[in-house]
Amino acid sequence: MALTGLDIFKLLPRKNCNECGVPTCLAFAMALASGKASLEACPYVSEEAKEALGSAAAPPIRLVKIGAPGVDHEVELGDENVLFRHDKTFYHPAGVAVEVGDDLDAGALAARLAKIAELVFERVGQRYTVDLVAVRNVTGDPAKFAAAAKAVAEKTKLALMLVAEKPEALKAALDVVADRKPILAWGTPATADAVVALAKEKGCAVVLRGAGLDETANLVERIAKTGFKDIILDSGARETGKVLADLTQVRRLAIKKKFRPFGFPIAAFCAEKDPLAEMTQASVYMAKYASLIVIKAVERPQVLTLLTWRQNIYTDPQKPIQVEAKLNRIGEAGPKSPLYVTTNFSLTYYTVEGEVAASKVPSYILAINTEGTSVLTSYAAGKFTADAIADALKKFEVEKLVPSKEIVIPGYVAVLSGKLADVSGWKVIVGPREAAGIPAFAKERYGRSS
Ligand code: SF4
Protein backbone atom coordinates (compact mmCIF):
# COMPACT_ATOMS: atom_id res chain seq x y z
CA MET A 1 0.00 0.00 0.00
CA ALA A 2 1.19 3.51 -0.78
CA LEU A 3 2.71 5.48 2.11
CA THR A 4 1.04 8.73 3.09
CA GLY A 5 2.92 11.99 3.43
CA LEU A 6 2.82 11.58 7.20
CA ASP A 7 4.25 8.05 7.02
CA ILE A 8 7.11 9.36 4.92
CA PHE A 9 7.64 12.36 7.20
CA LYS A 10 8.27 10.05 10.16
CA LEU A 11 11.20 8.52 8.27
CA LEU A 12 12.82 11.79 7.22
CA PRO A 13 15.67 13.46 9.20
CA ARG A 14 13.43 16.39 10.25
CA LYS A 15 16.21 18.97 9.98
CA ASN A 16 14.04 21.44 8.05
CA CYS A 17 17.22 22.61 6.37
CA ASN A 18 15.71 23.48 2.97
CA GLU A 19 18.48 21.72 1.03
CA CYS A 20 15.94 19.65 -0.87
CA GLY A 21 14.39 22.82 -2.27
CA VAL A 22 11.32 22.95 -0.02
CA PRO A 23 11.28 24.70 3.35
CA THR A 24 10.39 21.78 5.64
CA CYS A 25 10.70 18.02 5.85
CA LEU A 26 6.90 17.81 6.02
CA ALA A 27 6.52 19.70 2.74
CA PHE A 28 9.15 17.41 1.20
CA ALA A 29 7.29 14.34 2.47
CA MET A 30 4.06 15.58 0.89
CA ALA A 31 5.83 16.25 -2.40
CA LEU A 32 7.37 12.79 -2.27
CA ALA A 33 4.01 11.16 -1.59
CA SER A 34 2.45 12.87 -4.59
CA GLY A 35 5.35 11.93 -6.86
CA LYS A 36 6.49 15.52 -7.28
CA ALA A 37 9.87 15.05 -5.62
CA SER A 38 12.62 12.48 -5.60
CA LEU A 39 14.14 11.04 -2.43
CA GLU A 40 17.61 11.80 -3.78
CA ALA A 41 16.94 15.50 -3.24
CA CYS A 42 17.48 15.02 0.51
CA PRO A 43 21.15 14.35 1.29
CA TYR A 44 20.44 13.26 4.87
CA VAL A 45 18.12 10.27 4.41
CA SER A 46 19.52 7.22 6.17
CA GLU A 47 19.98 3.92 4.37
CA GLU A 48 17.31 2.37 6.62
CA ALA A 49 14.85 5.10 5.66
CA LYS A 50 15.69 4.64 1.97
CA GLU A 51 14.93 0.97 2.31
CA ALA A 52 11.68 1.61 4.16
CA LEU A 53 10.61 4.31 1.73
CA GLY A 54 11.29 1.98 -1.19
CA SER A 55 8.16 2.27 -3.31
CA ALA A 56 7.33 5.78 -2.10
CA ALA A 57 10.66 6.92 -3.47
CA ALA A 58 10.19 5.14 -6.80
CA PRO A 59 8.61 7.07 -9.66
CA PRO A 60 4.86 6.37 -9.91
CA ILE A 61 5.34 5.07 -13.45
CA ARG A 62 8.48 3.13 -14.23
CA LEU A 63 10.79 4.23 -17.04
CA VAL A 64 11.15 1.46 -19.64
CA LYS A 65 13.86 1.82 -22.28
CA ILE A 66 13.42 0.22 -25.68
CA GLY A 67 16.06 -0.57 -28.27
CA ALA A 68 19.68 -1.61 -28.09
CA PRO A 69 22.36 0.99 -27.43
CA GLY A 70 23.91 1.82 -30.79
CA VAL A 71 20.66 1.33 -32.66
CA ASP A 72 19.75 4.66 -34.22
CA HIS A 73 16.43 5.13 -32.50
CA GLU A 74 16.06 4.40 -28.80
CA VAL A 75 12.75 5.00 -27.09
CA GLU A 76 11.96 5.80 -23.46
CA LEU A 77 8.45 5.12 -22.20
CA GLY A 78 6.70 6.05 -18.95
CA ASP A 79 8.28 7.88 -16.01
CA GLU A 80 5.48 10.41 -15.78
CA ASN A 81 4.60 12.08 -12.49
CA VAL A 82 1.44 14.05 -13.10
CA LEU A 83 -2.05 13.62 -14.52
CA PHE A 84 -2.16 16.97 -16.25
CA ARG A 85 0.81 18.42 -18.02
CA HIS A 86 0.18 21.88 -16.57
CA ASP A 87 0.69 20.42 -13.07
CA LYS A 88 4.34 20.11 -14.07
CA THR A 89 5.14 18.59 -17.45
CA PHE A 90 5.10 15.27 -19.31
CA TYR A 91 8.57 13.88 -19.84
CA HIS A 92 8.48 11.00 -22.31
CA PRO A 93 6.46 11.40 -25.49
CA ALA A 94 4.36 8.36 -26.34
CA GLY A 95 6.21 6.06 -28.72
CA VAL A 96 4.43 5.56 -32.04
CA ALA A 97 4.80 2.12 -33.63
CA VAL A 98 3.70 1.38 -37.19
CA GLU A 99 2.51 -2.15 -37.88
CA VAL A 100 3.89 -4.41 -40.59
CA GLY A 101 2.24 -7.82 -41.16
CA ASP A 102 4.24 -10.97 -41.86
CA ASP A 103 1.71 -11.80 -44.56
CA LEU A 104 3.21 -9.21 -46.94
CA ASP A 105 5.36 -10.46 -49.80
CA ALA A 106 8.88 -9.10 -50.11
CA GLY A 107 7.90 -6.28 -52.47
CA ALA A 108 4.95 -5.11 -50.38
CA LEU A 109 7.04 -5.29 -47.20
CA ALA A 110 9.81 -3.19 -48.77
CA ALA A 111 7.27 -0.65 -50.05
CA ARG A 112 5.68 -0.33 -46.62
CA LEU A 113 9.04 0.10 -44.91
CA ALA A 114 9.99 2.73 -47.48
CA LYS A 115 6.84 4.66 -46.57
CA ILE A 116 7.64 4.34 -42.87
CA ALA A 117 11.15 5.67 -43.54
CA GLU A 118 9.61 8.76 -45.08
CA LEU A 119 7.69 9.60 -41.92
CA VAL A 120 10.17 12.28 -40.87
CA PHE A 121 8.89 15.79 -40.26
CA GLU A 122 10.34 19.16 -39.36
CA ARG A 123 8.16 21.56 -37.45
CA VAL A 124 9.05 24.71 -35.52
CA GLY A 125 12.68 23.74 -35.72
CA GLN A 126 12.14 20.27 -34.32
CA ARG A 127 12.53 16.99 -36.17
CA TYR A 128 10.20 14.17 -35.33
CA THR A 129 9.45 10.69 -36.57
CA VAL A 130 7.61 7.53 -35.67
CA ASP A 131 9.61 5.44 -33.21
CA LEU A 132 9.08 1.75 -33.80
CA VAL A 133 8.11 -0.81 -36.39
CA ALA A 134 5.75 -3.42 -34.96
CA VAL A 135 6.03 -6.72 -36.85
CA ARG A 136 2.79 -8.64 -36.42
CA ASN A 137 2.41 -12.40 -36.78
CA VAL A 138 -0.68 -12.30 -39.01
CA THR A 139 0.03 -15.69 -40.60
CA GLY A 140 0.36 -17.60 -37.32
CA ASP A 141 3.47 -19.21 -38.82
CA PRO A 142 6.62 -18.78 -36.65
CA ALA A 143 8.96 -19.22 -39.64
CA LYS A 144 7.22 -16.53 -41.67
CA PHE A 145 7.19 -14.27 -38.63
CA ALA A 146 10.92 -14.73 -38.10
CA ALA A 147 11.60 -14.05 -41.79
CA ALA A 148 9.54 -10.85 -41.69
CA ALA A 149 11.25 -9.69 -38.47
CA LYS A 150 14.66 -10.28 -40.06
CA ALA A 151 13.69 -8.38 -43.22
CA VAL A 152 12.36 -5.46 -41.19
CA ALA A 153 15.43 -5.34 -38.94
CA GLU A 154 17.68 -5.19 -41.99
CA LYS A 155 15.81 -2.24 -43.46
CA THR A 156 15.04 0.03 -40.51
CA LYS A 157 16.93 1.60 -37.66
CA LEU A 158 13.72 2.31 -35.77
CA ALA A 159 13.16 0.32 -32.60
CA LEU A 160 11.34 -2.98 -33.06
CA MET A 161 8.30 -4.63 -31.55
CA LEU A 162 7.29 -8.25 -32.14
CA VAL A 163 3.54 -8.86 -31.90
CA ALA A 164 2.29 -12.44 -31.72
CA GLU A 165 -0.08 -14.56 -29.67
CA LYS A 166 2.16 -17.64 -29.60
CA PRO A 167 5.37 -17.68 -27.51
CA GLU A 168 6.94 -20.01 -30.10
CA ALA A 169 6.43 -17.36 -32.80
CA LEU A 170 7.97 -14.70 -30.54
CA LYS A 171 10.90 -17.00 -29.85
CA ALA A 172 11.50 -17.69 -33.55
CA ALA A 173 11.51 -13.99 -34.40
CA LEU A 174 13.47 -12.97 -31.32
CA ASP A 175 16.19 -15.45 -32.21
CA VAL A 176 16.94 -13.50 -35.40
CA VAL A 177 16.60 -9.92 -34.06
CA ALA A 178 17.65 -10.31 -30.41
CA ASP A 179 20.45 -7.76 -30.82
CA ARG A 180 17.78 -5.08 -31.42
CA LYS A 181 16.10 -5.80 -28.07
CA PRO A 182 12.55 -5.61 -29.42
CA ILE A 183 9.45 -5.26 -27.28
CA LEU A 184 7.67 -8.61 -27.04
CA ALA A 185 3.88 -8.49 -27.25
CA TRP A 186 2.07 -10.21 -25.78
CA GLY A 187 2.41 -12.08 -22.54
CA THR A 188 -1.07 -13.19 -21.43
CA PRO A 189 -2.00 -15.04 -18.24
CA ALA A 190 -1.47 -18.26 -20.24
CA THR A 191 1.77 -17.31 -21.98
CA ALA A 192 3.43 -14.66 -19.81
CA ASP A 193 5.85 -17.02 -18.03
CA ALA A 194 7.26 -18.30 -21.32
CA VAL A 195 7.42 -14.85 -22.91
CA VAL A 196 9.00 -13.23 -19.85
CA ALA A 197 11.61 -16.02 -19.78
CA LEU A 198 12.55 -15.08 -23.36
CA ALA A 199 12.62 -11.40 -22.48
CA LYS A 200 14.83 -11.96 -19.43
CA GLU A 201 17.32 -13.91 -21.49
CA LYS A 202 17.60 -11.24 -24.20
CA GLY A 203 17.02 -8.08 -22.15
CA CYS A 204 13.69 -7.09 -23.73
CA ALA A 205 10.49 -5.49 -22.45
CA VAL A 206 7.18 -7.36 -22.55
CA VAL A 207 3.62 -6.14 -23.12
CA LEU A 208 1.48 -7.96 -20.55
CA ARG A 209 -2.14 -8.21 -21.64
CA GLY A 210 -5.02 -9.24 -19.46
CA ALA A 211 -8.71 -9.41 -20.30
CA GLY A 212 -9.65 -6.19 -18.53
CA LEU A 213 -7.91 -4.14 -15.86
CA ASP A 214 -8.36 -6.58 -12.99
CA GLU A 215 -6.76 -9.46 -14.83
CA THR A 216 -4.00 -7.18 -16.13
CA ALA A 217 -3.24 -5.97 -12.59
CA ASN A 218 -3.09 -9.55 -11.27
CA LEU A 219 -0.84 -10.61 -14.12
CA VAL A 220 1.53 -7.69 -13.65
CA GLU A 221 1.69 -8.21 -9.91
CA ARG A 222 2.55 -11.88 -10.38
CA ILE A 223 5.25 -11.18 -12.96
CA ALA A 224 6.73 -8.20 -11.08
CA LYS A 225 7.14 -10.44 -8.01
CA THR A 226 9.57 -12.56 -10.04
CA GLY A 227 11.81 -9.49 -10.30
CA PHE A 228 11.00 -8.72 -13.96
CA LYS A 229 10.19 -5.03 -14.28
CA ASP A 230 10.47 -4.13 -17.98
CA ILE A 231 6.73 -4.29 -18.32
CA ILE A 232 4.29 -2.47 -20.57
CA LEU A 233 0.58 -2.80 -19.78
CA ASP A 234 -2.25 -3.64 -22.17
CA SER A 235 -5.76 -3.89 -20.75
CA GLY A 236 -6.86 -5.86 -23.81
CA ALA A 237 -9.55 -3.33 -24.75
CA ARG A 238 -9.70 -2.19 -28.37
CA GLU A 239 -12.86 -0.06 -28.51
CA THR A 240 -11.95 3.64 -28.23
CA GLY A 241 -14.18 4.55 -25.29
CA LYS A 242 -13.14 1.49 -23.29
CA VAL A 243 -9.45 2.01 -24.01
CA LEU A 244 -9.72 5.65 -22.96
CA ALA A 245 -11.43 4.65 -19.72
CA ASP A 246 -8.73 2.06 -19.02
CA LEU A 247 -5.88 4.41 -19.84
CA THR A 248 -7.34 7.06 -17.56
CA GLN A 249 -7.95 4.67 -14.70
CA VAL A 250 -4.47 3.21 -14.94
CA ARG A 251 -2.84 6.64 -14.93
CA ARG A 252 -4.98 7.90 -12.05
CA LEU A 253 -4.31 4.84 -9.90
CA ALA A 254 -0.58 4.96 -10.66
CA ILE A 255 -0.19 8.66 -9.89
CA LYS A 256 -2.80 9.31 -7.20
CA LYS A 257 -2.74 6.00 -5.32
CA LYS A 258 0.69 4.72 -6.27
CA PHE A 259 -0.95 1.42 -7.17
CA ARG A 260 2.19 -0.49 -8.11
CA PRO A 261 0.72 -2.98 -10.63
CA PHE A 262 -0.22 0.01 -12.77
CA GLY A 263 3.10 1.78 -12.28
CA PHE A 264 4.30 0.91 -15.78
CA PRO A 265 3.96 2.40 -19.26
CA ILE A 266 0.78 1.41 -21.07
CA ALA A 267 0.25 0.48 -24.71
CA ALA A 268 -2.79 1.21 -26.88
CA PHE A 269 -3.41 -0.75 -30.08
CA CYS A 270 -5.52 1.08 -32.66
CA ALA A 271 -8.24 -1.09 -34.16
CA GLU A 272 -10.01 1.26 -36.55
CA LYS A 273 -9.60 0.32 -40.22
CA ASP A 274 -10.45 3.66 -41.81
CA PRO A 275 -7.26 5.80 -41.73
CA LEU A 276 -9.03 8.95 -40.60
CA ALA A 277 -10.87 7.08 -37.85
CA GLU A 278 -7.62 5.43 -36.83
CA MET A 279 -5.84 8.76 -36.43
CA THR A 280 -8.77 10.11 -34.42
CA GLN A 281 -8.54 7.04 -32.20
CA ALA A 282 -4.76 7.37 -31.86
CA SER A 283 -5.11 11.06 -31.03
CA VAL A 284 -7.47 10.20 -28.17
CA TYR A 285 -4.91 7.74 -26.79
CA MET A 286 -2.14 10.28 -27.26
CA ALA A 287 -4.06 12.82 -25.19
CA LYS A 288 -4.83 10.38 -22.37
CA TYR A 289 -2.54 8.53 -21.48
CA ALA A 290 -0.90 5.98 -23.74
CA SER A 291 2.87 5.53 -23.49
CA LEU A 292 2.99 3.51 -26.70
CA ILE A 293 0.52 3.66 -29.60
CA VAL A 294 0.42 1.05 -32.36
CA ILE A 295 -1.02 2.24 -35.67
CA LYS A 296 -1.33 0.93 -39.21
CA ALA A 297 -1.36 4.27 -41.06
CA VAL A 298 1.71 5.08 -43.12
CA GLU A 299 0.51 8.07 -45.13
CA ARG A 300 2.33 11.28 -44.26
CA PRO A 301 -0.75 13.53 -43.81
CA GLN A 302 -2.27 11.06 -41.34
CA VAL A 303 0.84 10.52 -39.30
CA LEU A 304 1.74 14.22 -39.35
CA THR A 305 -1.50 15.05 -37.51
CA LEU A 306 -0.73 12.53 -34.79
CA LEU A 307 2.88 13.59 -34.33
CA THR A 308 1.94 17.27 -34.30
CA TRP A 309 -0.56 16.50 -31.57
CA ARG A 310 2.13 14.64 -29.66
CA GLN A 311 4.51 17.55 -30.01
CA ASN A 312 1.90 19.87 -28.54
CA ILE A 313 1.12 17.63 -25.59
CA TYR A 314 4.73 16.88 -24.72
CA THR A 315 5.98 20.43 -24.90
CA ASP A 316 6.93 21.65 -21.45
CA PRO A 317 4.27 24.29 -20.67
CA GLN A 318 6.78 26.11 -18.47
CA LYS A 319 9.35 26.33 -21.27
CA PRO A 320 8.01 27.67 -24.55
CA ILE A 321 9.81 26.28 -27.58
CA GLN A 322 12.44 28.76 -28.59
CA VAL A 323 14.76 29.34 -31.48
CA GLU A 324 18.19 30.79 -31.01
CA ALA A 325 18.11 34.57 -30.74
CA LYS A 326 20.25 35.63 -33.70
CA LEU A 327 20.28 37.12 -37.16
CA ASN A 328 18.95 34.67 -39.75
CA ARG A 329 19.51 34.83 -43.49
CA ILE A 330 16.58 33.74 -45.63
CA GLY A 331 17.52 32.91 -49.20
CA GLU A 332 20.42 34.72 -50.85
CA ALA A 333 19.97 37.88 -48.77
CA GLY A 334 22.39 40.68 -49.59
CA PRO A 335 23.05 44.34 -48.76
CA LYS A 336 19.76 45.54 -50.25
CA SER A 337 17.61 42.92 -48.58
CA PRO A 338 14.93 43.84 -46.03
CA LEU A 339 15.44 43.17 -42.34
CA TYR A 340 12.51 41.97 -40.25
CA VAL A 341 12.54 41.70 -36.49
CA THR A 342 10.49 39.28 -34.42
CA THR A 343 10.72 37.25 -31.22
CA ASN A 344 12.44 33.91 -30.59
CA PHE A 345 9.18 32.06 -29.80
CA SER A 346 9.36 29.16 -32.26
CA LEU A 347 5.79 29.38 -33.48
CA THR A 348 6.14 33.10 -34.09
CA TYR A 349 9.57 32.85 -35.64
CA TYR A 350 8.73 30.01 -38.04
CA THR A 351 5.46 31.65 -39.05
CA VAL A 352 7.37 34.80 -39.96
CA GLU A 353 10.12 32.80 -41.64
CA GLY A 354 7.58 30.87 -43.71
CA GLU A 355 5.90 34.04 -44.92
CA VAL A 356 9.22 35.75 -45.64
CA ALA A 357 10.27 32.72 -47.69
CA ALA A 358 6.89 32.79 -49.46
CA SER A 359 7.49 36.44 -50.38
CA LYS A 360 10.44 35.27 -52.50
CA VAL A 361 12.36 38.37 -51.46
CA PRO A 362 15.66 37.26 -49.88
CA SER A 363 15.67 38.81 -46.40
CA TYR A 364 17.15 38.86 -42.92
CA ILE A 365 15.17 38.10 -39.79
CA LEU A 366 16.47 39.25 -36.43
CA ALA A 367 15.11 37.03 -33.65
CA ILE A 368 15.11 38.79 -30.27
CA ASN A 369 15.47 36.82 -27.05
CA THR A 370 12.04 37.16 -25.45
CA GLU A 371 12.38 33.84 -23.59
CA GLY A 372 10.13 32.16 -26.12
CA THR A 373 7.14 34.47 -25.92
CA SER A 374 5.14 35.89 -28.81
CA VAL A 375 5.24 39.50 -30.00
CA LEU A 376 2.35 40.89 -27.98
CA THR A 377 3.06 38.82 -24.87
CA SER A 378 6.71 39.81 -24.83
CA TYR A 379 5.86 43.44 -25.52
CA ALA A 380 3.43 43.43 -22.59
CA ALA A 381 6.06 41.76 -20.40
CA GLY A 382 8.69 44.35 -21.31
CA LYS A 383 10.86 41.84 -23.18
CA PHE A 384 10.30 42.97 -26.76
CA THR A 385 11.44 46.55 -26.36
CA ALA A 386 13.19 49.22 -28.40
CA ASP A 387 16.28 48.79 -26.22
CA ALA A 388 16.31 45.01 -26.68
CA ILE A 389 16.06 45.38 -30.46
CA ALA A 390 18.73 48.09 -30.54
CA ASP A 391 21.05 45.91 -28.43
CA ALA A 392 20.54 42.96 -30.80
CA LEU A 393 21.26 45.14 -33.83
CA LYS A 394 24.58 46.06 -32.24
CA LYS A 395 25.41 42.61 -30.92
CA PHE A 396 24.97 40.93 -34.33
CA GLU A 397 26.58 43.86 -36.19
CA VAL A 398 23.58 43.95 -38.50
CA GLU A 399 24.64 47.30 -39.92
CA LYS A 400 27.47 45.56 -41.81
CA LEU A 401 24.97 43.37 -43.66
CA VAL A 402 22.13 45.87 -44.01
CA PRO A 403 23.82 49.20 -44.75
CA SER A 404 20.50 50.86 -45.50
CA LYS A 405 19.82 50.63 -41.75
CA GLU A 406 16.13 50.00 -42.36
CA ILE A 407 14.27 47.63 -40.04
CA VAL A 408 10.71 46.30 -40.31
CA ILE A 409 8.89 45.82 -37.02
CA PRO A 410 5.63 43.89 -36.53
CA GLY A 411 2.55 46.06 -36.98
CA TYR A 412 1.25 45.05 -33.55
CA VAL A 413 4.11 46.93 -31.90
CA ALA A 414 4.04 50.03 -34.09
CA VAL A 415 4.20 51.93 -30.82
CA LEU A 416 7.90 50.99 -30.57
CA SER A 417 8.87 52.77 -33.77
CA GLY A 418 9.69 56.20 -32.36
CA LYS A 419 11.84 55.02 -29.48
CA LEU A 420 13.55 52.37 -31.60
CA ALA A 421 14.52 54.98 -34.18
CA ASP A 422 15.90 57.16 -31.37
CA VAL A 423 17.94 54.53 -29.55
CA SER A 424 19.22 52.67 -32.60
CA GLY A 425 19.57 55.34 -35.24
CA TRP A 426 17.82 52.99 -37.68
CA LYS A 427 14.93 53.87 -39.96
CA VAL A 428 11.93 51.97 -38.63
CA ILE A 429 9.25 50.70 -40.96
CA VAL A 430 6.00 49.39 -39.49
CA GLY A 431 5.21 46.09 -41.18
CA PRO A 432 2.00 44.08 -41.29
CA ARG A 433 0.26 43.13 -38.06
CA GLU A 434 -0.02 39.50 -39.09
CA ALA A 435 2.81 37.47 -40.66
CA ALA A 436 0.40 36.50 -43.41
CA GLY A 437 0.64 40.06 -44.70
CA ILE A 438 4.40 39.83 -45.29
CA PRO A 439 4.38 38.53 -48.91
CA ALA A 440 2.17 41.40 -50.14
CA PHE A 441 4.11 43.92 -48.03
CA ALA A 442 7.47 42.64 -49.30
CA LYS A 443 6.33 42.63 -52.89
CA GLU A 444 5.13 46.20 -52.67
CA ARG A 445 8.09 47.62 -50.77
CA TYR A 446 10.99 45.34 -51.68
CA GLY A 447 9.84 43.65 -54.84
CA ARG A 448 13.30 43.29 -56.26
CA SER A 449 16.14 40.85 -55.89
CA SER A 450 18.86 41.68 -53.40
S1 SF4 B 1 16.88 18.23 2.79
FE2 SF4 B 1 16.08 16.55 4.01
S3 SF4 B 1 16.37 17.24 6.09
FE4 SF4 B 1 16.51 19.05 4.83
S5 SF4 B 1 14.42 19.89 4.74
FE6 SF4 B 1 14.65 18.56 2.99
S7 SF4 B 1 13.88 16.60 3.73
FE8 SF4 B 1 14.28 17.81 5.51
The residue whose CA is least distant from atom 7 of ligand 1 is 25
Query: What interhelical angle do 386-395 and 417-424 show, nearest 10?
Result: 40
Q: pLDDT tens-digit profile of 170-210?
A: 999 999 999 999 999 999 999 999 999 999 999 999 999 99
336 contacts: CB under 8 Å, gap ≥ 6: 404, 448, 450
C-alpha distances in Å from residue 167, one per residue of 121, 173, 206: 36, 10, 12
> Is the predicted pLDDT of residue 160 greater than 70, yes or no?
yes
**Dist. CA 42 → ligand 1 center (Å):** 5
Q: pLDDT tens-digit profile of 314-337?
A: 988 777 788 999 999 999 999 999
Q: What percent of the chain stands above pLDDT 90?
A: 80
Q: pLDDT tens-digit profile of 61-120?
A: 999 999 887 776 889 999 888 899 888 889 899 999 999 999 999 999 999 999 999 999
C-alpha distances in Å from residue 441, one per residue of 141, 341, 351, 372, 402: 64, 14, 15, 26, 19
The residue whose CA is least distant from atom 8 of ligand 1 is 25
Q: Which CATH superfamily is domain 63-313 in?
A: Dihydropteroate synthase-like (3.20.20.20)
Q: What is the pLDDT of residue 15?
A: 93
Q: What is the pLDDT of residue 448?
A: 55
Element (H, E) at 391: helix 386-395
The residue whose CA is least distant from atom 3 of ligand 1 is 15
Pocket flag, ligand 1, residue 38 (CB < 6 Å) = no
> Is the predicted pLDDT of residue 60 greater than 70, yes or no?
yes
Pocket flag, ligand 1, residue 42 (CB < 6 Å) = yes
Pocket flag, ligand 1, residue 44 (CB < 6 Å) = yes
Residue of 17, 22, 40 best suited for mutating to test ligand 1, as the one with most atoms within 8 Å of CB: 17
pLDDT mean across residues, the chain: 93
CATH of domain 5-57: 1.10.15.40
**Dist. CA 253 → ligand 1 center (Å):** 28
Q: What is the pLDDT of residue 31?
A: 85
Binning pLDDT at 50, 70 and 90, where does residue 449 land? Answer: very low
> Is the predicted pLDDT of residue 278 greater than 90, yes or no?
yes
Domain boundaries 327-446, CATH class: alpha beta
Pocket flag, ligand 1, residue 16 (CB < 6 Å) = yes
**Equal fold, 63-313 vs 327-446:** no
Binning pLDDT at 50, 70 and 90, where does residue 57 land? Answer: low
**Dist. CA 308 → ligand 1 center (Å):** 41
> Is the predicted pLDDT of residue 381 greater than 90, yes or no?
yes
Q: pLDDT tens-digit profile of 385-443?
A: 999 999 999 999 999 999 999 999 999 999 999 999 999 999 999 999 999 999 999 99
17: amino acid identity, one letter? C
The residue whose CA is least distant from atom 4 of ligand 1 is 17
Q: What is the pLDDT of residue 2?
A: 59
419: amino acid identity, one letter? K
**Domain residue ranges of the chain, discontinuous segments joined by +:** 5-57, 63-313, 327-446
Q: What percent of the chain stands above pLDDT 70?
A: 97
Pocket flag, ligand 1, residue 218 (CB < 6 Å) = no
Q: Which atom of ligand 1 is nearest to the CA of 12?
A: 7
Residue of 20, 22, 24, 40 best suited for mutating to test ligand 1, as the one with most atoms within 8 Å of CB: 20
Taking the C-alpha atoms of residue 259 and residue 53, their distance in angstroms, rounded to an integer, is 15
Residue of 16, 36, 39, 53 best suited for mutating to test ligand 1, as the one with most atoms within 8 Å of CB: 16
Q: For 71-136, give the DSSP string.
A: SS--EEEE----SSGGGS---SPPEEEEEEETTS-HHHHHHHHHHHHT-EEEETTEEEE--EEEEE
Element (H, E) at 186: strand 183-187
Q: pLDDT tens-digit profile of 140-155?
A: 999 999 999 999 999 9
List, in sequence order, every residue forming a beta bridge with 96; answer none if it has no partner: 293
Q: What is the pLDDT of residue 418?
A: 97
Q: What is the pLDDT of residue 450?
A: 44
